[in-house]
Structure 1
Amino acid sequence: MSLAFDCWSLGLESCSVIGMRLPRLMTGDPAAMREAQRMVSEKVEAAASLQWKLMTGTLGTTAPSVLGASVAHYRKVVRQNHRRLRG
Protein backbone atom coordinates (compact mmCIF):
# COMPACT_ATOMS: atom_id res chain seq x y z
CA MET A 1 0.00 0.00 0.00
CA SER A 2 2.86 2.36 0.76
CA LEU A 3 4.34 1.92 -2.72
CA ALA A 4 0.99 2.68 -4.31
CA PHE A 5 0.72 5.86 -2.25
CA ASP A 6 4.27 6.87 -3.19
CA CYS A 7 3.48 6.37 -6.90
CA TRP A 8 0.29 8.40 -6.52
CA SER A 9 2.20 11.16 -4.70
CA LEU A 10 4.85 11.24 -7.42
CA GLY A 11 2.15 11.71 -10.04
CA LEU A 12 0.48 14.47 -8.06
CA GLU A 13 3.74 16.28 -7.34
CA SER A 14 4.78 15.98 -10.99
CA CYS A 15 1.51 17.53 -12.14
CA SER A 16 2.05 20.38 -9.73
CA VAL A 17 5.56 21.04 -11.08
CA ILE A 18 4.27 20.92 -14.67
CA GLY A 19 1.58 23.43 -13.72
CA MET A 20 4.19 25.79 -12.30
CA ARG A 21 6.54 25.39 -15.25
CA LEU A 22 4.08 25.89 -18.08
CA PRO A 23 3.39 29.60 -17.48
CA ARG A 24 7.14 30.24 -17.32
CA LEU A 25 7.76 28.34 -20.54
CA MET A 26 4.89 30.03 -22.37
CA THR A 27 6.47 33.47 -22.06
CA GLY A 28 9.12 32.54 -24.62
CA ASP A 29 11.65 34.91 -23.10
CA PRO A 30 15.29 34.07 -22.28
CA ALA A 31 14.25 32.90 -18.79
CA ALA A 32 11.86 30.44 -20.43
CA MET A 33 14.69 29.10 -22.58
CA ARG A 34 16.87 28.63 -19.49
CA GLU A 35 14.02 26.82 -17.74
CA ALA A 36 13.49 24.53 -20.73
CA GLN A 37 17.21 23.74 -20.92
CA ARG A 38 17.33 23.12 -17.19
CA MET A 39 14.28 20.86 -17.40
CA VAL A 40 15.83 18.70 -20.13
CA SER A 41 19.23 18.48 -18.45
CA GLU A 42 17.59 17.55 -15.11
CA LYS A 43 15.62 14.78 -16.79
CA VAL A 44 18.74 13.36 -18.46
CA GLU A 45 20.71 13.58 -15.22
CA ALA A 46 17.94 11.96 -13.17
CA ALA A 47 17.60 9.09 -15.65
CA ALA A 48 21.38 8.54 -15.86
CA SER A 49 21.69 8.61 -12.07
CA LEU A 50 18.88 6.12 -11.69
CA GLN A 51 20.45 3.83 -14.29
CA TRP A 52 23.76 3.99 -12.41
CA LYS A 53 22.02 3.10 -9.15
CA LEU A 54 20.35 0.16 -10.86
CA MET A 55 23.63 -1.13 -12.33
CA THR A 56 25.47 -0.85 -9.00
CA GLY A 57 22.70 -2.53 -7.01
CA THR A 58 21.98 0.55 -4.92
CA LEU A 59 18.25 0.28 -5.63
CA GLY A 60 18.00 -3.21 -4.17
CA THR A 61 17.77 -6.75 -5.46
CA THR A 62 14.04 -7.43 -5.64
CA ALA A 63 11.49 -5.91 -7.96
CA PRO A 64 9.54 -4.19 -5.14
CA SER A 65 12.70 -2.68 -3.65
CA VAL A 66 13.90 -1.45 -7.06
CA LEU A 67 10.50 0.09 -7.80
CA GLY A 68 10.27 1.72 -4.38
CA ALA A 69 13.78 3.16 -4.60
CA SER A 70 13.14 4.38 -8.15
CA VAL A 71 9.99 6.20 -7.10
CA ALA A 72 11.84 7.71 -4.12
CA HIS A 73 14.63 8.83 -6.46
CA TYR A 74 12.24 10.68 -8.76
CA ARG A 75 10.18 12.10 -5.89
CA LYS A 76 13.34 13.72 -4.52
CA VAL A 77 14.06 15.40 -7.86
CA VAL A 78 10.44 16.51 -8.31
CA ARG A 79 10.30 17.84 -4.74
CA GLN A 80 13.43 19.94 -5.35
CA ASN A 81 11.86 21.44 -8.45
CA HIS A 82 8.63 22.14 -6.60
CA ARG A 83 10.50 24.06 -3.90
CA ARG A 84 12.53 26.01 -6.46
CA LEU A 85 9.54 26.94 -8.62
CA ARG A 86 7.34 27.83 -5.65
CA GLY A 87 9.88 30.25 -4.20
Structure 2
Amino acid sequence: MYDSWLRLGLDTVRLGLEAQTVVALRLAKLSLGGSAAQAEAERMVIEKMEAAAEAAITLAAGGSPERVVRDYRRKVRANAHRLSRG
Protein backbone atom coordinates (compact mmCIF):
# COMPACT_ATOMS: atom_id res chain seq x y z
CA MET A 1 0.00 0.00 0.00
CA TYR A 2 2.73 2.48 0.93
CA ASP A 3 4.49 1.99 -2.38
CA SER A 4 1.27 2.76 -4.22
CA TRP A 5 0.64 5.97 -2.24
CA LEU A 6 4.24 7.05 -2.58
CA ARG A 7 4.17 6.48 -6.32
CA LEU A 8 0.85 8.33 -6.60
CA GLY A 9 2.29 11.28 -4.68
CA LEU A 10 5.41 11.44 -6.84
CA ASP A 11 3.42 11.12 -10.05
CA THR A 12 1.08 13.88 -8.88
CA VAL A 13 4.06 16.16 -8.22
CA ARG A 14 5.43 15.33 -11.68
CA LEU A 15 2.03 16.12 -13.18
CA GLY A 16 2.06 19.51 -11.48
CA LEU A 17 5.51 20.33 -12.80
CA GLU A 18 4.67 19.16 -16.31
CA ALA A 19 1.43 21.13 -16.26
CA GLN A 20 3.36 24.31 -15.42
CA THR A 21 5.36 23.84 -18.61
CA VAL A 22 2.13 23.63 -20.60
CA VAL A 23 0.75 26.71 -18.82
CA ALA A 24 3.86 28.69 -19.76
CA LEU A 25 3.73 27.52 -23.38
CA ARG A 26 0.03 28.29 -23.64
CA LEU A 27 0.45 31.74 -22.12
CA ALA A 28 3.16 32.50 -24.66
CA LYS A 29 0.87 31.42 -27.50
CA LEU A 30 -2.14 33.28 -26.11
CA SER A 31 -0.10 36.45 -25.67
CA LEU A 32 0.45 36.60 -29.43
CA GLY A 33 -3.28 36.90 -30.03
CA GLY A 34 -4.95 36.18 -33.32
CA SER A 35 -6.80 33.15 -34.59
CA ALA A 36 -4.17 30.69 -33.33
CA ALA A 37 -4.56 32.06 -29.81
CA GLN A 38 -8.35 31.87 -30.05
CA ALA A 39 -8.17 28.27 -31.24
CA GLU A 40 -5.78 27.38 -28.40
CA ALA A 41 -8.07 28.96 -25.81
CA GLU A 42 -11.03 27.00 -27.12
CA ARG A 43 -8.99 23.80 -27.28
CA MET A 44 -7.82 24.32 -23.70
CA VAL A 45 -11.36 24.62 -22.35
CA ILE A 46 -12.61 21.61 -24.31
CA GLU A 47 -9.63 19.49 -23.23
CA LYS A 48 -10.16 20.34 -19.57
CA MET A 49 -13.85 19.44 -19.71
CA GLU A 50 -13.10 16.15 -21.50
CA ALA A 51 -10.28 15.26 -19.12
CA ALA A 52 -12.47 15.90 -16.06
CA ALA A 53 -15.26 13.76 -17.51
CA GLU A 54 -12.83 10.96 -18.35
CA ALA A 55 -11.38 11.06 -14.84
CA ALA A 56 -14.87 10.85 -13.33
CA ILE A 57 -15.78 7.93 -15.58
CA THR A 58 -12.53 6.13 -14.74
CA LEU A 59 -13.15 6.47 -11.02
CA ALA A 60 -16.86 5.61 -11.30
CA ALA A 61 -15.94 2.45 -13.20
CA GLY A 62 -13.60 1.37 -10.40
CA GLY A 63 -10.41 2.78 -11.85
CA SER A 64 -7.63 3.91 -9.57
CA PRO A 65 -6.36 7.41 -8.82
CA GLU A 66 -3.03 6.21 -10.24
CA ARG A 67 -4.77 5.58 -13.57
CA VAL A 68 -6.31 9.05 -13.54
CA VAL A 69 -2.94 10.71 -12.88
CA ARG A 70 -1.25 8.54 -15.51
CA ASP A 71 -3.89 9.54 -18.09
CA TYR A 72 -3.57 13.24 -17.19
CA ARG A 73 0.23 13.06 -17.46
CA ARG A 74 -0.01 11.48 -20.91
CA LYS A 75 -2.26 14.30 -22.10
CA VAL A 76 -0.11 17.00 -20.53
CA ARG A 77 3.04 15.59 -22.16
CA ALA A 78 1.27 15.49 -25.53
CA ASN A 79 0.27 19.14 -25.13
CA ALA A 80 3.80 20.12 -24.12
CA HIS A 81 5.16 18.38 -27.20
CA ARG A 82 2.58 19.97 -29.51
CA LEU A 83 3.05 23.48 -28.09
CA SER A 84 6.85 23.33 -28.06
CA ARG A 85 6.95 22.49 -31.77
CA GLY A 86 5.13 25.65 -32.82
TM-score, normalising length from structure 1? 0.84
Separation of aligned partners in 1, 2:65 and 2:78: 20
1:86 CA drift (Å): 1.3
State the distance in 1 between where 2:60 and 2:9 align: 24
Q: How does 1:68-79 map to 2 (within 5 A)?
A: 68-79=66-77
Structure 1 runs of 4+ with >4 Å offset: none
Aligned to 1:85: 83
Q: 1:43 aligns with which of 45, 48, 59?
A: 48
1:25 pairs with 2:23 = no
Instruction: Give the percent of matched residue pairs that are identical in Structure 1 and Structure 2.
Output: 43
- 5+ residue gaps, structure 1: 60-65
RMSD across aligned positions (CA): 1.1
Which segment is superposed worse, 36-45 or 70-79?
A: 70-79
Instruction: Give the C-alpha shift of residue 54 in structure 1.
Output: 1.6
TM-score, normalising length: structure 2? 0.85
Instruction: Give the Å deviation of 1:55.
Output: 1.7
